Structure 1
Amino acid sequence: MTHSHKSITLNIYSKMEREIQMGKIWCIYFSPSGTTKVVMERIAAKMDGEKHTWDLLKEPDVTPKTLQPEDVLLVGVPVFSGRIPTPCIPMLQSLKGAQTPAIAVAVYGNRDYDDALLELKNMLEEQAFLVIGAAAVVAQHSIFTKVAAGRPDAEDLEKLDLFSAECIERLQSGRMNWKELQVKGNKPYREISNVPMKPSADTTCTSCGLCARLCPVHAIDPANPRKTDQTRCISCTACIAACPQGARHFPKLMFVPASVAFEKSVQSVVNQNGSYKEKSLYA
């Protein structure tokens, strides 16, 4: 069952203090299933300036990095259990701003983004960034792919373009009426719950080792990539998306009933609220 209900794809928050001449555009994302990358590259494409892209999944690094006041930081993360994915945290904490403007984006699979966007905003502000815009963006669910299937779609991308344009306008506006950016979420942040399903490989696995090299928590043994260390795995789906043989899957005995239950829970929200949790637009 593919869900197609939608109204506004983004929950957007923006503010601006002073006129800023954009320097380097830092586009940083963690994108195991590929959708966060699509979102962040779309936002960055509308901004003029030298681009510096950092894929946290493919280039893990905790070396300290300092951005300049004229730079612009774009950070996008998927929402895992309503929070920032754990492997991202030390890498994002390696970034230091100098009152550098930042745009925070949480990409979620249409259940809820809970505390993730607030957590990201707070983290950036603690590191001397000025969060001038933030968005919660719906994308195809990374595990239960029938939920929000095919998103972000063409309509979503158009709304991302509008969001980019608004952020650029605010970067260039020179407004002096700073107000604290209010983003949905709670602190203390919700407790992270572990997804019980863990992927493994079937007999079509060729032991190429790509999944082991890519796994952000080193849950796959390069010497035996068909197995997954279930105590380490965070069910991010990077290995599933990357496997050239399509050999990695969640166990069907668990996945099928869990998928049906999850789709019903999302549909219940739709029936109750009239749309997904994407109907509010803030500016």
Structure 2
Amino acid sequence: MRDKAKNMSILIPFFSATGNTKKVANVIKKKLDDSNISVTMLDITSYSRREEDIFINQYDAVIFGFPIYSMRAPRVCREWLETLDGKGMKCSVFFTYGGFGKDPAHYFMKELLEKQNFELISTAEFLGAHTFNRSGWKAVVNRPNESDFKIARDYTMKTMERFLGNDLNKLGEFEKPIYKKSQFDQAEKYRFSLIRQLPTRNLKNCSMCGLCEKLCPVNAMDASIGTANNRCIACFRCIANCPEGILHTNDISGSWNKKLETHRMTQEEVESLESKIYL
């Protein structure tokens, strides 16, 4: 594969608020680097980066990386994708998720990318510590780990075979959801039902570095008052990157067992979930 791929140029745009998606993206990049493939990483987590013009057609193929929020890629990512024109370019998508609600993310992403004139040739999903662990949950706390990274390397090579035309098989169809998009829009709002206190801080211990405001993907954090406004998407990037570790939401640890009961899963079953490739 090396000889055929050495002149290829791959773009990896990714959204990673708490670091899970970036970890997987880095594993994919390393595997491509080892095959002497040119790779460009594009972190679109910041609002300003998504506002920049992206000359996507200078690349040979794209591997997108997104977390799953409320069964789909985050709305800000979907809106960013709607600004692109793939012009027939081959692409792949990988998701990270916290053990729950991963479907129908693949279905809706395939639909969106095809609308934007991309040819989706593979997808994958990887376990990653749930965002709400920072508010008290205990969902796949130590993921992604080496077992996930091994699957990520396999995903990379299988995806490259399709990019190169060595594997002419087509990506299968995903099951169409029984609910309407409007109902999934409502589910996005439910994401906030447990988080009654948006990210905020104890002013007495704050160095006023302003990093929380700078990093917020949707310009929701106001460093001067130390709290986010209702534009917040509960990605918790501010909490994950606070140097003093003083940003927080309300404690939702009491809802963890209820979450397990709702999904009819045990803690052990959640921890044993495996990452997966779709071809």
What TM-score does the superposition give when structure 2 sets the normalisation length?
A: 0.81
Partner of 2:227: 227
8 Å CA contact 1:22, 1:72 repeated in 2 = no
Q: Say how many residue pairs are matched.
A: 259
Runs of 5+ in structure 2 lacking a partner? none
Q: Using CA pairs below 8 Å that are at least 6 residues apart, which structure has the higher relative contact order?
A: 1
Take 1:276 and 1:188, find their aligned partners in 2: how far apart are those partners? Answer: 31
1:66, 1:96 within 8 Å by CA — same for their partners in 2? no
Distance 2:221 2:270 in 1: 42
For 1:164, the equivalent position in structure 2 comes to: 156
**Which one of 55, 70, 77 corresponds to residue 43 of structure 2?**
55
Whether the 8 Å CA contact 1:25–1:44 is kept in 2: the answer is: no
> Are 2:103 and 1:114 equivalent residues in the alignment?
yes
Give the distance between the partners of 2:6 and 2:116, measured in 1 at CA.
21
Consecutive unaligned residues in structure 1, runs of 5 or more: 1-18
Distance in 1, matches of 2:43 and 2:84, equals 14
Deviation of 1:50 after TM superposition, in Å, equals 2.2
Equivalent position of 1:201 in the other structure: 201
Matching residue's letter, 1:234: I
Would you say 1:241 and 2:240 are equivalent positions?
yes
1:21-42 Cα shifts (integer Å, max 9, x gaps):
8632111111001001111221
Q: Work out which of the residue numbers 94, 101, 126 in structure 2 matches 1:137.
A: 126
Sequence identity (%) = 25
Alpha-carbon distance change, 233 to 34 in structure 1, aligned in 2, over 3 angstroms: same
Equivalent position SS for 2:243 = coil
Code of the residue aligned with 2:162 in structure 1: it is R
Shift of 1:210: 0.6
- Aligned 1:1-283 pairs, distance under 5 A: 23-47=8-32, 48-58=36-46, 59-68=48-57, 71-144=60-133, 146-176=138-168, 179=170, 181-184=172-175, 186=177, 188-189=180-181, 190-191=184-185, 192=188, 193-196=190-193, 197=195, 198-202=198-202, 203-224=204-225, 226-229=226-229, 231-252=230-251, 255-265=252-262, 268-270=264-266, 278=274, 282-283=278-279
TM-superposed deviation, 1:245: 0.5
Contact 1:105 1:136 in 2 (8 A): yes
Q: Secondary structure at the match of 1:65?
A: coil
- Following TM superposition, by how much is the alpha carbon of 1:281 offset from its aligned partner in structure 2, in angstroms? 5.9
Q: Deviations over 1:186-218 (max 9, x none)?
A: 273323233131221124222221101111222
Aligned to 1:206, what secondary structure does the other structure show? Answer: coil
- The answer to whether the 8 A contact 1:35-1:139 is kept is yes
Moved more, 111-120 or 35-44: 111-120
Where does residue 16 of structure 1 map in the other structure?
Answer: none
The 3 A distance-change label for structure 1 pair 175 and 88 is closer
- Please state how far the C-alpha of 1:277 moved relative to its aligned partner: 6.0
Residue in structure 2 matched with residue 11 of structure 1 by the alignment: none
Amino acid at match of 1:194: R
Q: Please give the TM-score of this superposition, normalised by the length of structure 1.
A: 0.80
Cα offsets for 1:5-26 (capped at 9, x unmatched): xxxxxxxxxxxxxx98863211
